[in-house]
Amino acid sequence: MTKTTVKIDGMMCGMCESHVCDAIRAAFDVKKVRASHKSGLLEIVTQDALDEGAVRKALEPTGYTVLEVSSEPYVKKGLFGF
C-alpha cells in the first residue's frame, strides 16, 4: 500500500476538506483519505501508487492549488505503534 501526501493551498474549513476528499474518492479507488485545512495536507492511502499528474488533474476542478505531491510506503501502525 502507498500513502500519498498532497500539500494544498486554499482550504479554509471542513467543507473544503470534504470537497478535496470527494474529488479524490471519485477519481481513485482509495482505502483511506483525509484532509486537514489547518495543516493544508491531504493524505491518501491506496493499494497502488498514484500518478502525480493524475492527482493534480483530479483536484484541479476543486479550485484549490496543489503545491506538492509525495508518496511513501504505507505502514499501518498497531495499537502501540509497533
- CB-based contacts of 27: which residues, under 8 Å, 6+ apart? 54, 57, 58
Distance of alpha carbon 44 from alpha carbon 35, whole angstroms:
9
Tally of CA atoms within 13 A in the half-sphere of 73 that contains its CB: 2
Domain boundaries defined on the chain: 2-73
Distance of alpha carbon 12 from alpha carbon 22, whole angstroms:
16
- CB-based contacts of 62: which residues, under 8 Å, 6+ apart? 19, 20, 23
Per residue of the chain (82 residues), what is the pLDDT tens digit? 999 999 999 999 999 999 999 999 999 999 999 999 999 999 999 999 999 999 999 999 999 999 999 999 998 876 665 4
Which architecture characterizes domain 2-73 according to CATH?
Answer: 2-Layer Sandwich (3.30)
pTM for the model:
0.88
Query: What's the confidence (pLDDT) of residue 69?
Result: 97
